[in-house]
Amino acid sequence: MTATPAAPIPDPASTSPERLVNVRGLARAIEEFAAARDWTQFHTAKNLAMALTGELGELVEIFQWMSPEQSTRAGHDPETAQAVRDELADVLIYLVRLAEVLGVDLDDAVRAKLARNALKYPADKVRGSHRKYDRY
């Protein structure tokens, strides 16, 4: 049996007018939430990066002692699904807020990073491998 060739995947770093990452509405909502509580004074890059790390740690803690199979189901398991959603939301909120405070356009950053990764990890050389780019 011969395998059917995979359809080409569009280059996400292309000049497509569609944004890959569009968080404008979320960024506005976070800013309004923080301003209403007079918290913007605390939203320095350092503080937000530290808060992001803390939230990511809380997400990781959910998975800490799970088997690979359990971790795959964690987003749907009644015992963990709400916590997974909450921590993912917290991570996203802090990430978006940090990008806003630093003046980083996440769409531009993602497109540029995907383009660099495409060069570092050519599909024909790394397909199916977990090795780092400098070890293939």
Looking at per-residue pLDDT, the higher value among 90 and 131 belongs to 90
Query: In this predicted structure, what is the pLDDT of residue 17?
Result: 73
Looking at per-residue pLDDT, the higher value among 3 and 125 belongs to 125
Please report the domains of the chain, with CATH numbers, ordered by start residue. Answer: 24-29+43-120 (1.10.287.1080)
Instruction: Tell me how far apart the terminal alpha carbons of the chain are, to the nearest angstrom.
Output: 29
Q: 134 pLDDT exceeds 90?
A: no
Q: What is the mean pLDDT of residues 97-112?
A: 97
pLDDT digits (tens, 9 = 90+) for 24-69: 999 999 999 999 999 999 999 999 999 999 999 999 999 999 999 9
Collect all residues with Cβ–Cβ distance below 8 Å to 44 and sequence separation of at least 6.
Answer: 101
Q: What is the mean pLDDT of residues 91-102?
A: 98
108 close to 99: Cβ distance less than 8 angstroms: no
Q: Three-state DSSP class for 81?
A: helix
Collect all residues with Cβ–Cβ distance below 8 Å to 121 and sequence separation of at least 6.
Answer: 133
Q: What is the mean pLDDT of residues 90-118?
A: 97
Q: What is the mean pLDDT of residues 7-17?
A: 54
Q: Please tell me the distance from the alpha carbon of residue 53 to that of residue 11, in angstroms, as a whole number.
A: 30
Q: What is the mean pLDDT of residues 11-15?
A: 55
**pLDDT tier at 133 (50, 70, 90 boundaries)?**
confident
Query: In this predicted structure, what is the pLDDT of residue 35?
Result: 98
Q: Please tell me the distance from the alpha carbon of residue 35 to that of residue 119, in angstroms, as a whole number.
A: 41
**pLDDT tier at 11 (50, 70, 90 boundaries)?**
low
Q: Please tell me the distance from the alpha carbon of residue 136 to that of residue 127, in angstroms, as a whole number.
A: 10
